[in-house]
Amino acid sequence: MSARILSGNAIRDQIYAELAGEISSLAAAGIKPGLAAVLVGDNPASKVYVNSKIAACGKLGLASFHITPPATISTGELLGIIEDLNARDDVDGILVQLPLPSQIDSKKVLEAVDPAKDVDGFHPMNVGHLVAGRPGLVACTPAGVMEILRRSNVPIEGANAVVLGRSDIVGKPQALLLLHASATVTIAHSKTKDLKDVVRRADIVVAAIGRPAMVTPDYVRPGATVIDVGINRINDAKLAENFFANFPERLAEFQKKGTAIVGDVHPDVASVAGAFTPVPGGVGPLTIAMLMSNTVKAARMRRGSRAPLAASSRT
């Protein structure tokens, strides 16, 4: 068996094409959605993530505002920046790139973002809307996973779904979205008894536990759909030899660069699963696509626009 590859890049392009039409409708009404990205300090990985989000705004014709306070900023000073962004009418979405420096009260900062501009979907009010099944801004990565499943025609209603991981950012909202789509959902984690057996019963596996290649073929029921949310950088040659033993091109690339990005799912799962998302090129592109979708959605909701709702904006 060779699994069907679910390309996040292809689905992202579908969503961007739909968003382009909606953005044009908003522009005709004199509205240009705007996203403010707050990047504290100079964490290299965070810079890459924020730059990719700003670039996506430019590609789609959204306004973007890049705020870069120093790593020494206090919680109070950062709250002042958030307060200013909340008040700006040209800013429809606010994202605060995580992680924040240790002296910052991250929860206090995230909760200070106006829920109507919370395009990351982290504010307790938006989380509450998700629990209640009410319209709102939903965390981008879980929303992207749902787009992959739906647009790839993976049956969700009645399916047994296992979410491996219980974070506030991915695991919990993912379980709720699957539940609202009428899946039977189990949340599994590091303390779950007989973890392998629990995962192996699933028709749909969403791996978001943060351990490189933890989900091996013996975790997966033949024919299951496996969505890999993990993004892990490895530098160990022995690990790479284990992960890429059946993928000589990826092993050669590792040997050339000395590093590689892998997910939470072992590449060999492709020999068992019915469908899976690769890393890179799977869930990652959808996370940014849904951030763009949320920004457009926030602009429409905030400004009362009657522009048509893009398919990618529906939750």
Q: Taking the complete model, does pTM exceed 0.85, yes or no?
A: yes
The domain containing residue 55 runs over which residues?
24-118
Eight-class DSSP state of 265: B
Q: 226 and 102 share a domain?
A: no
Q: 30 and 71 share a domain?
A: yes
Identify which of 115, 73, 78, 72 has the alpha carbon closest to the alpha carbon of residue 96: 78
In angstroms, rounded to a whole number, what is the distance separating the alpha carbons of residues 231 and 142? 14
Domains in the chain: how many in total? 2
In which order are the strands placed within the sheet that holds 34-38? 63-67, 34-38, 93-96
Identify which of 297, 296, 285, 310 has the alpha carbon closest to the alpha carbon of residue 11: 285
- Each of the 315 residues of the chain gets a pLDDT tens digit; together they read 578 999 999 999 999 999 999 999 999 889 999 999 999 998 888 999 999 999 999 999 999 999 999 999 999 999 999 999 999 999 999 999 999 999 999 999 999 999 999 999 999 999 999 999 998 999 999 999 999 999 999 999 999 999 999 999 999 999 999 999 999 999 999 999 999 999 999 999 999 999 999 999 999 999 999 999 999 999 999 999 999 999 999 999 999 999 999 999 999 999 999 999 999 999 999 999 999 999 999 999 987 744 444 444 444
3-class SS of residue 148: helix
Answer whether residue 280 is part of any domain. Answer: yes
CATH of the domain at 109: 3.40.50.10860
Answer whether residue 305 is part of any domain. Answer: no
Q: 192 and 280 share a domain?
A: yes
In angstroms, rounded to a whole number, what is the distance separating the alpha carbons of residues 22 and 26? 6
Annotated catalytic residues are 53, 97, 120
**Using DSSP, how many helices (H) and how many strands (E) does the chain show?**
11, 11
Q: 243 and 164 share a domain?
A: yes
Answer whether residue 132 is part of any domain. Answer: no
Answer whether residue 304 is part of any domain. Answer: no
Answer whether residue 74 is part of any domain. Answer: yes
Torsion of CA 184, 212, 53, 151, to 10 degrees: -40
Answer whether residue 199 is part of any domain. Answer: yes
Tokens encoding 269: 């799962």
The β-bridge partners of 234 are 260
CATH of the domain at 280: 3.40.50.720
